[in-house]
């Protein structure tokens, strides 16, 4: 299908952008998801508000022990970013292996979270990291944990007149992390993130892509993570990449693999 | 033998323009005053059309016309080169989800697309038959309530074994039935030391040519001109002439470069839709399908095959019995031929003293199936070869030994009365086994598998070619054969340069225009090198003979006294004249040209059918992740038994491409119906092989024994290597996990289940 006609707006400030937004005038960043949905006739907005020229939405910085990633940052740039690679290597590596080269060089972290495609890598790792997002709207700003923001399949907890401004990841010294995914089709079948801050006794497990939303849990030690038990906590969506039973099975396999990978990661 | 230009991996003339995107494909073609079409498609599997309301669509901005079956009722509104059952636009009822019901013609693609949404089709649902069991059940709803006249396609009659008398008179969902056999199969089974029986399922596939079907057509003053993505422009011309009742000479079909075909672009596809839209509107009309629409236009026949073979204790085949049922979808298209080929090809290049094969091509309310690289061989071979491997296991002999015992030797017939095998298949087998064993890894969950096939290839030997010698000695080669990525353009140039003794750089090949280039039946069945190559050799010889005659006049000697030189002729007194000089001097005005014509028919070396046997000889080694069932291909080994490789790199490209496509169907690809429609009719969910899936080791070998009928002893390539891949992968997986799969593709979950089953 060809794209239906639409107006393209290109504001350069966040305030201008917020003024343009309405039910019928929607944010547009890399377009990797939005334009496909429009091509397929699922979505027909009158106007697209391009976010890529808005300075306030880009950039990566560390602020008070928090890694702040602008919404329009693209996967490929994040994978290569020196600060991300140094402070959060598990995140950089995940970004490096998202989708395909076109998606990585075009798709943004904000678009990924706002679209809330269940088969995502980004939200899984961010939930495990206890990250949050900053939203800006006509009434001001608010901060929402990613676990609440990515609320359902293709559903993010956001008003049509709100924009995702940035993603905030609290940094931890000596954090070890591993992310592994099982993927046989275009998108992951299951992705598993394990994180360990041994000094703080903080352990997190995130499992995504297998069900409608990613899930994350805290543990008191790595030993508490029972792969088979975790497989029972997920609610796999059966589809062409596998039945519910098979997906549960590979979830357990990949939780074990993530734990084994983590063992090889030094702080 | 002293050839200069053939036998070398010359660079393709179309390489740079294709890589840079400069090459012109059909989608790039426009016509003055052109309008754009979009198709209104059925959104149900089987339903009576109770009304089509086009008023709202017609009122849409930029809409020129909405064409329905009623508008074209005065035409012969069906096509199909074997069974003319394929309605251009659904007439009375729809037979599958995605069937064209109307064509909207508008000033822009967007306007046409918008108006498609405004065409209101009302339906009354009919019970649908979504698979072969439903279609063959007693009292099943009929996909076609009428029978259709056969088109009398000669080649089809010749290639299959249609038993006219058993042709079913009562209406059923049986589109076509083919049987083949000899000897006393049941008696042989009774005497067998071991009888091995199994059933295999070959998946419903999509050929996945990168370029979806598209065409631009102009009907003007009793003449039709169409540019399209047709593999066989002459076949399409014949169908279109029948639709409009036009003389063949008033229908012109041109095929620019094709973005891949793999059989899926053989025969008529979107050309009638664009043509009737032009006929109704009086304007040229362009129609470009999406990938999803292309999938619903033509898919690959899925198959269920039951096979039973009897063996002596030493593994000698005593009898084989095959029952093949193919799901051919709503229209026959080329499926009857695919079935005929599956019947010929399922039992393999083995001595089979007693044989019984029954093949049924069945109508269902699914997208129509037609040709696919390998023509029935991938389906049939999977059954025959896995059965053989299972038998070897039962008899305690190796997969190589059971084949060594039964493979035919050169010259032996596998189809009585047909051409004997023109290849040394046992020698090819040794090459494959040696390569696989050399690099066998000693790790758990590792298995090797290999397989053989021999296909009656080349289709029907009717081919023509022309060479036109210009006054500067440069050469135009004209062929109706289509360049679809396989490299025929450079191959034909090599043959002409070789035959005429001219430099490759002065040869230009012009292809696929029914009003310009000479007749070519088809571009398929791996035939171009062999058959067009022979016609071209004859055209070159004809041009040379004319040039000798003309030179004799100039030299004032007898024609017999003129000798051939590379790119020139010599008189009895030693005087030499280049081709260009002969033409210039004979015409006397520094102008003119000489045309050589080459004609090929069933005669002489190409009398016996098939024109040649295309051997498929492959091996794979797989390594399986026992926890997930993921199959990694560690080795891929192929032998191209091509007689003589005119362009070795092109042969390797064909083999790697065919094998990789085969790996797709063996491991990943399958169209899945979920109710009336496909669950994965798109390029994201229909999973094809990717770079990362490429085998660790790839060994593409070429066996050159100069044993083909083609130029320099050449035979065709292109399909062979795909055919045995499925069976080879199935056997390799079985040996790796200790259990025999019964269906492809071997997705991770299927392999995991196979391993977890008791
Ligand atoms: C073929 C393919 C494969 C993929 N594979 C993977 C994979 O393996 N793993 C993975 O994690 N992801 C994958 N993705 C998803 C990919 O990561 C996302 O498509 C991409 O990051 C989305 O970003 P975008 O900028 O293109 O979003 P767009 O398409 O521009 O927008 C998506 C949605 O978000 C909204 N939006 C965008 N930015 C904002 C903002 N700042 N504020 C508010 N709303 C906003 C838009 O209105 C729209 O609704 C894949 C996508 C494709 C197409």
Residue B511's domain comprises 13-26+460-606
The pair of structure tokens assigned to B467 is 């060479």
pLDDT digits (tens, 9 = 90+) for A174-201: 999 999 999 999 899 999 999 999 999 9
How far is CA B44 from each of CA A39, B48, B98, B130, B175, rounded to the nearest angstrom? 22, 10, 8, 11, 21
Same domain, B556 and B524: yes
- Lowest-pLDDT range, A254-258, B298-302, B332-336, B352-356? B332-336
Distances (CA, A) of B246 to B79, B84, B150, B238, B570: 14, 17, 20, 9, 48
Q: Is position B356 within any domain?
A: no
Which residues contact ligand 1 via a Cβ below 6 A? A 26-34, 51, 71, 98-99, 103, 106-108, 110-112, 114-115, 117, 120-122, 163-164, 186-188; B 684
Query: What pLDDT, in 10s, does the model give residues B374-395?
Result: 999 999 999 999 999 999 999 9
Tell me the pLDDT of chain B averaged across its residues: 95
pLDDT band at B151 (very low <50, low <70, confident <90, very high): low
Contacting residues of A for B628, CB less than 8 Å apart: 182, 250, 253
**What is the CA(B290)–ligand 1 centre distance, in A?**
23
B186 part of a folded domain: no
* pLDDT of the residue at B169: 55
Mutation choice for ligand 1 from A33, A96, A179, CB with most ligand atoms inside 8 A: A33
Residue B24: pLDDT over 70: yes
* pLDDT for the residue numbered A1: 62
CA distance A244 to chain B (A): 11
Q: What is the pLDDT of residues A93-125, one digit of tens each?
A: 999 999 999 999 999 999 999 999 999 999 999
The boundaries of every CATH 3.30.43.10 domain in chain A are 7-50
Q: Rounded to the nearest whole angstrom, what is the distance from the C-alpha of residue A182 to the centroid of ligand 1?
A: 20
Residues of A in contact with B751 (CB under 8 A): none
> Ligand 1 center to residue A153 CA distance, Å?
13
Helix residue ranges per DSSP H, chain A: 14-20, 34-39, 75-80, 82-87, 89-96, 101-106, 109-115, 122-128, 146-149, 227-233, 244-263
Distance (angstroms) between ligand 1 centre and the Cα of B287 equals 31
Within 10 Å of residue B649's Cβ, how many Cβ atoms?
Answer: 16
Residues B433 and B507 in one domain: no
pLDDT surpasses 60 at B155: no
Q: Give the CATH number for residue B693.
A: 3.30.365.10
CA–CA dist B30, B51 (Å, integer):
34
Tokens of A259: 């734990």
Nearest CA owner, ligand 1 atom 25: A30
Which of B606, B623, B644 is where one domain is finished? B606
Nearest CA-CA distance, residue B749 and chain A, Å: 6
Q: Does A1 touch chain B (CB under 8 A)?
A: yes
pLDDT at A2: 74
In a domain, B388, yes or no: no
Q: What are phi and psi of B251, to 5 degrees?
A: -120, 125
The confidence score (pLDDT) of residue B564 equals: 97
- Position B153 scores a pLDDT of 61
Place of tokens 């822009």: B108
Q: Is B689 a residue whose pLDDT tops 90?
A: yes
Q: Are residues B583 and B657 in the same domain?
A: no
**pLDDT beyond 90 at B688:** yes
Q: Test B113 with A253 for CB contact under 8 angstroms.
A: no
Domain A175-262 sits in CATH at 3.30.390.50
Enumerate residues 6+ apart whose C-beta is below 8 A from B113.
A1, A2, B38
Whole-number Å distance between alpha carbons of B632 and B746 = 11
Residue of A1, A5, A6, A97 best to disrupt the B interface, most CBs of B under 10 A: A1
Q: Which residue has the tokens 């083909």?
A: B708
| pLDDT cut 70: percent of chain B above it | 97
Q: What is the per-residue pLDDT for B288? A: 98
With a pLDDT cut of 90, the percent of chain B lying above it is 93
**Which residues, given as ranges, of chain A have pLDDT below 50?**
none
pLDDT value for B757 = 82
- Tokens read off for B666: 């063996």
Which residue numbers of B are catalytic? Answer: 719
Q: Is pLDDT of B304 > 90?
A: yes
Q: What is the mean pLDDT of residues B724-746?
A: 98
Q: Which two tokens stand for residue B136?
A: 């063959």
- Which of B251 and B683 is assigned the larger pLDDT? B251
If asked whether residues B524 and B583 sit together in one domain, one would say: yes
Extended strands (E) in B4-127: 35-41, 47-53, 63-68, 78-79, 86-87, 93-94, 100-106, 120-125
Q: Is residue B426 part of a domain?
A: yes
Q: Are B330 and B367 contacting, i.e. CB atoms less than 8 angstroms apart?
A: yes
**Chosen domain end from B606, B641, B673:** B606
Calculate mean pLDDT across residues B407-434. Answer: 97
Closest by CA to B580, choosing from B570, B562, B572, B592, is B592
Place of tokens 């049987």: B179
CATH code linked to domain A55-170: 3.30.465.10
Look at phi and psi of residue B169 and say left if phi exceeds 0, alpha if psi is from -120 to 50, else beta.
alpha
Atom 41 of ligand 1, residue of closest alpha carbon: A164
Bridge pairing between strands B507-511 and B563-565: unpaired
pLDDT for position B56: 98
pLDDT band with cut points at 50, 70 and 90 for residue B301: very high
Query: For B51-67, what is each residue's pLDDT tens digit?
Result: 999 999 999 999 999 99
Closest partner CB to A240 (pick from B113, B630, B672): B672
Which of B606, B637, B663 is the last residue in one of the domains? B606
Shared domain for B621 and B756, answered yes or no, is yes
Task: Name the residue with the closest Cα to ligand 1, atom 2.
Answer: A99
Residues in chain B within 8 Å Cβ distance of A2: 109-110, 113
Choose among B628, B687, B753: nearest Cβ to A250: B628
Would you state the pLDDT for residue B269? 97
Fold of A7-50: 3.30.43
- Whether residue B628 and residue A242 make contact (CB cut-off 8 A), yes or no, is no
Nearest chain B Cα distance for residue A242, angstroms: 6
Rg (CA), chain A: 18
Residue B170 above 80 pLDDT? Answer: no
Could you read off the pLDDT of B530-562 as tens digits, one per residue? Answer: 999 999 999 999 999 999 999 999 999 999 999
Instruction: For residues B448 and B554, state if they share a domain.
Output: no
Report CB contact under 8 Å: A186, B290: no
- Residue B166: pLDDT band (50, 70, 90) is very low
Interface contact A240-B684, CB threshold 8 A: no
CATH 3.30.465.10 domain range(s) in chain A: 55-170
Whether A5 has its CB under 8 Å from any CB of chain B: the answer is: yes
The pTM for the full model equals 0.95
Q: Is A182 near chain B, with CB under 8 Å?
A: yes
Q: Is residue B164 part of a domain?
A: no
> Chains A and B: how many Cβ contacts under 8 Å?
37
In this complex, is the C-beta atom of A243 within 8 Å of any C-beta atom belonging to chain B? yes
* CB-based contact, A4 to chain B, within 8 Å: yes
Structural domains counted in chain B = 3
Q: What is the pLDDT of residues B88-97, one digit of tens each?
A: 999 999 999 9
Residues from chain B contacting residue A184 (CB–CB below 8 Å):
630, 668, 687, 747-748
Residues B648 and B684 in one domain: yes
Residue A11 CA, ligand 1 centroid: distance in Å: 20
Asked if B553 and B654 sit in the same domain, the reply is no
Q: What is the pLDDT of residues B235-246, one digit of tens each?
A: 999 999 999 999
Is the pLDDT confidence value at B655 over 80? yes
State whether B728 and B683 are in the same domain: yes
Say if the Cβ atoms of A1 and B113 lie within 8 Å. yes
Please indicate, yes or no, whether residues B723 and B625 belong to a single structural domain of this protein: yes
ipTM of the complex: 0.95
* One domain for residues B491 and B558: yes
Which residue minimizes the CA distance to atom 48 of ligand 1? A34
């Amino acid at each position: 299908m060809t794209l239906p006609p639409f107006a393209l707006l290109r504001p350069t400030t966040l305030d201008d952008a917020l003024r343009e937004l309405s039910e019928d005038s929607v944010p547009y960043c890399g377009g990797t998801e939005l334009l496909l949905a429009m091509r397929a006739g699922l979505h027909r907005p009158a106007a697209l508000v391009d976010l890529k020229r808005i300075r306030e939405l880009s950039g990566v910085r560390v602020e008070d022990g928090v890694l702040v990633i602008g919404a329009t940052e693209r996967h490929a740039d994040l994978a290569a970013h020196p600060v991300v690679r140094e402070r959060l290597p598990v995140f950089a590596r995940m970004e490096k292996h998202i989708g395909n080269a076109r998606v990585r060089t075009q798709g943004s972290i904000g678009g990924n979270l706002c679209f809330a495609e269940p088969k995502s890598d980004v939200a899984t790792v961010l939930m495990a990291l206890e990250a949050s997002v900053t939203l800006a709207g006509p009434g001001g700003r608010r901060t929402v944990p990613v676990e609440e923001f990515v609320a359902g399949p293709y559903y993010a907890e956001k008003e049509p007149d709100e924009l995702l401004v940035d993603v905030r990841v609290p940094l931890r010294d000596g954090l070890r992390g591993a992310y592994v995914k099982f993927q046989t089709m275009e998108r992951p079948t299951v992705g598993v993130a394990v994180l360990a801050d041994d000094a703080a006794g903080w352990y997190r497990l995130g499992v995504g892509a297998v069900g409608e939303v990613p899930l994350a849990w805290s543990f008191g030690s790595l030993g508490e993570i029972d792969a088979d038990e975790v497989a029972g906590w997920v609610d796999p969506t059966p589809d062409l990449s596998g039945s519910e039973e098979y997906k549960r099975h590979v979830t357990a396999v990949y939780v074990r693999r993530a734990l084994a990978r983590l063992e090889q990661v030094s702080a | 033998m002293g050839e200069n230009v053939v036998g070398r991996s010359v660079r393709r003339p179309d390489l740079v323009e294709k890589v840079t995107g400069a090459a012109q494909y059909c989608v790039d073609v426009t016509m003055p005053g052109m309008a754009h079409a979009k198709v209104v498609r059925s959104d149900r599997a089987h339903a009576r059309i109770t009304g089509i309301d086009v008023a709202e669509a017609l009122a849409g901005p930029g809409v020129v016309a909405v064409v329905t079956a009623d508008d074209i009722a005065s035409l012969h509104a069906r096509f199909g080169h074997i069974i003319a059952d394929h309605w251009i636009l659904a007439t009375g009822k729809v037979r599958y989800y995605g069937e064209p019901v109307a064509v909207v013609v508008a000033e822009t693609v967007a306007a046409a697309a918008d108006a498609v949404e405004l065409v209101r089709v009302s339906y009354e649902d009919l019970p649908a038959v979504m698979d072969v069991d439903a279609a063959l059940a007693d009292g099943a709803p009929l996909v076609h309530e009428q029978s259709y006249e056969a088109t009398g396609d000669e080649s089809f009659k010749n290639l299959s074994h249609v038993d006219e008398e058993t042709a079913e008179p009562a209406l059923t969902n049986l589109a076509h039935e083919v049987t083949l056999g000899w000897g006393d199969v049941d008696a042989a089974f009774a005497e067998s030391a071991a009888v091995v029986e199994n059933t295999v399922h070959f998946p419903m596939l999509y050929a996945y040519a990168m370029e979806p079907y598209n065409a631009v057509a102009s009907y003007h003053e009793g003449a039709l001109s169409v540019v399209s993505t047709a593999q066989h422009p002459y076949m399409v011309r014949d169908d279109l002439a029948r639709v409009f009742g036009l003389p063949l000479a008033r229908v012109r079909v041109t095929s620019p470069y094709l973005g891949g075909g793999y059989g899926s672009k053989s025969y008529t596809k979107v050309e009638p839709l664009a043509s009737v839209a032009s006929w109704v509107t009086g304007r040229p009309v362009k129609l470009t399908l999406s990938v999803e629409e292309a999938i619903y236009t033509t898919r690959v026949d899925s198959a269920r095959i039951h096979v039973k073979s009897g063996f002596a204790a030493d593994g000698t085949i005593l009898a084989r019995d095959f029952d093949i049922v193919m799901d051919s979808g709503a229209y026959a298209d080329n499926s009857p031929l695919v079935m005929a080929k599956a019947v010929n090809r399922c039992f393999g290049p083995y001595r089979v003293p007693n044989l019984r094969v029954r093949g049924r091509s069945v109508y269902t309310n699914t997208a129509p199936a037609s040709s696919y690289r390998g023509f029935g061989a991938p389906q049939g071979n999977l059954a025959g070869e896995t059965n053989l491997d299972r038998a070897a296991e039962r008899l305690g002999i190796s997969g190589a030994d059971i084949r060594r015992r039964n493979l035919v030797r050169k010259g032996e017939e596998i189809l009585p009365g047909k051409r004997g095998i023109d290849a040394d298949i046992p020698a090819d087998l040794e090459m494959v086994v040696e390569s696989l064993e050399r690099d066998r890894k000693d790790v758990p969950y590792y298995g090797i598998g290999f397989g053989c096939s021999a296909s009656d290839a080349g289709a029907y030997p009717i081919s023509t070619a022309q060479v036109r010698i210009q006054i500067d000695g440069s050469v135009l080669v004209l062929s109706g054969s289509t360049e679809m990525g396989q490299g025929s353009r450079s191959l034909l140039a090599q043959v002409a340069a070789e035959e005429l003794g001219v430099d490759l750089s002065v040869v230009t090949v012009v292809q696929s225009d029914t009003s310009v280039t000479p007749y070519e039946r088809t571009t398929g069945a791996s035939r171009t090198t062999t058959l067009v190559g022979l016609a071209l050799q004859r055209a070159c010889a004809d041009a040379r003979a004319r040039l000798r005659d003309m030179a004799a006049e100039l030299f004032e000697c007898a024609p017999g006294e003129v000798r051939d030189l590379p790119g020139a002729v010599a008189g009895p007194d030693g005087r030499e004249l280049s081709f260009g000089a002969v033409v210039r001097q004979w015409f006397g005005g520094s102008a003119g040209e000489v045309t050589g014509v080459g004609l090929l028919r069933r005669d002489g070396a190409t009398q016996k059918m098939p024109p040649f046997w295309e051997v498929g000889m492959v091996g794979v080694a797989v390594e399986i992740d026992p926890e997930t069932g993921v199959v990694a291909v560690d080795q891929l080994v192929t032998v191209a038994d091509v007689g003589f490789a005119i362009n070795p790199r092109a042969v390797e490209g064909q083999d790697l491409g065919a094998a990789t496509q085969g790996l797709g169907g063996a491991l990943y690809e399958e169209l899945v119906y979920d109710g009336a429609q496909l669950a994965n009719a798109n390029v994201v969910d229909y999973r094809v092989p990717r770079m990362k899936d490429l085998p660790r080791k790839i060994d593409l070998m070429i066996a050159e024994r100069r044993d083909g009928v083609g130029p320099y002893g050449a035979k065709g390539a292109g399909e062979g290597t795909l055919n045995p891949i499925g069976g080879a992968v199935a056997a390799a997986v079985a040996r790796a996990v200790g259990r025999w799969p019964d269906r492809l593709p071997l997705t991770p979950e299927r392999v995991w289940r196979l391993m977890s089953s008791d």
